[in-house]
Amino acid sequence: MSKETMDRPPGPAEAFYPRPIELSGLRRDAVNVRDLGEGVEVVVVPGRERLHVFREICPHMGGPLTQATVCEDATLACPWHGYRFSLESGRLVDNPNERIMADLRRRAPACFKPENAPKYALTPLAYSLVGDRAYVHRKRGGA
């Protein structure tokens, strides 16, 4: 692959954010913050097999995932309220309010329906690797 080919995204430029993620310098199993251009920041957590790339805002209340913690159980913990999300899928795996409110729920009237609580999740962003860069797709799923 020529140097010129490696300096471009693997498809129409408008399908990708303008700034690729440079793989060199990423800390493994840690939150790495990268600016994709156009006011879009992402958190990148390099794993064993692939990168985990998410928008930098927690879906619960907008906490800064740029300050999140990567936990030993392969989750990302929001610094504001401790919500933990799977690095693999982005789904919520621990809501600390569930534990805090457990006793209250047992004593609550029948009209209190905690099963109607919102299900928060991070949206993994698709990317394509070209050389030592990851080009992040604008559309979900990379299509």
Give alpha helix (H) positions in the chain: 3-6, 96-100, 102-107
Q: Which residue numbers in the chain have pLDDT < 70?
A: 1-6, 112-118, 141-143
Q: Looking at the domain assignment, is residue 73 inside a domain?
A: yes
pTM to 2 decimal places: 0.84
pLDDT tens digits for range 60-100: 988 999 999 999 999 999 999 999 999 999 999 998 877 77
Give how far the C-alpha of residue 79 lies from the chain's centroid of Cα atoms, to the nearest Å: 14
Q: Percentage of the chain with pLDDT > 90?
A: 64
Q: Looking at the domain assignment, is residue 21 inside a domain?
A: yes
The structural domain count of the chain equals 1
Give the CATH number of the domain where residue 31 resides. 2.102.10.10
Question: Could you give the CA distance from residue 132 to residue 52 in angstroms, rounded to a whole number?
Answer: 16
Q: Looking at the domain assignment, is residue 2 inside a domain?
A: no
